[in-house]
Structure 1
Amino acid sequence: MTAPRYDDGGEVPLGGYAALATTFTTGAALFAALAHRRGVRPPEQVPPLDVALLGTAVFKASRLISKDKITSFLRAPFTRRTEQGEGSEVMDAPRGGGAQRAVGDLVSCPFCVSAWVAGVLVGSYAVTPRGTRLVCAGLTALTAADWLQYAWTWAQQSTEG
């Protein structure tokens, strides 16, 4: 007797997901051990402005990785283009099976990528808060610029009828 499937189609790459989760957890643990060994002490508190900068930077970096046209080359081995999105964004779908499919699911999903980006930025913040703030400020400025581009486009379309 076979065990019931997790999903009806049998297409969820649970082994690939487990490998990705293990990679993330192992990377975080190795980073923490190395930082501890080198005497890096995490900040006792993170100011609210830094949390806002980190959050906005995670949002933008996740969308750049998972949706931007120019980063398609990173996703191409694991995804296929399905349609054009708004602005410079595109819609990709995972391809293949197993690990390839799991990575495709990860890199085409901004919500999924955000955990990895947050891990990198929070780790960076613990080691070099000033440098990380600068990177986060740049990504936050890019987010603001995107919203201004959308507002400008909306205003032009509204006046043109």
Structure 2
Amino acid sequence: MSVSEDTSSAPKGPSIVALIGVVAVLTLIAAGGGWLLGGRLGLAEAAKPEGEKPATAAEMPTGSVVPLKPILTNIKIPQDVWIRLEAGVVARPGEKVSDELAATVAGDFTAFMRTVNLMQLRGPAGIEYLRTDLQERAVIRSQGKIEKVYIWALVME
């Protein structure tokens, strides 16, 4: 009697070429869907709210920009969170912001940042409220010489 050998082999798994093909097709579908969705939603127009018109030259601040020294302080709640704020102020046209006034405004900003809690800084609305609060303090401290406050960087650790 002859012993016949069974030459059946284990089933083969998918090839690497098939895997690359599937990934490429899915990537193209995702890119096409993103492009269509972006066009439909008008992401370029989403930056401007519908009721708002573009700023004209008359509405843009025309005063000189004075950068403030970076402010590094901890906040009130939680106290182990540190904030670095880089901001600048815009003087009203015809007004000059002296170094002493800039230092006073920066000191006022530091004192204010020590009263802020972390929940107040959540999201874009929180940053906008912070900018508005800082602007109000700067206008009061400068007796109207400062027109606007810009926040260039806000880092929390």
TM-score, normalised relative to structure 2? 0.28
More helix by share: 1
Q: Which structure: larger Rg?
A: 2
More strand by share: 2
- Relative contact order higher in (CA < 8 Å, ≥ 6 apart): 1
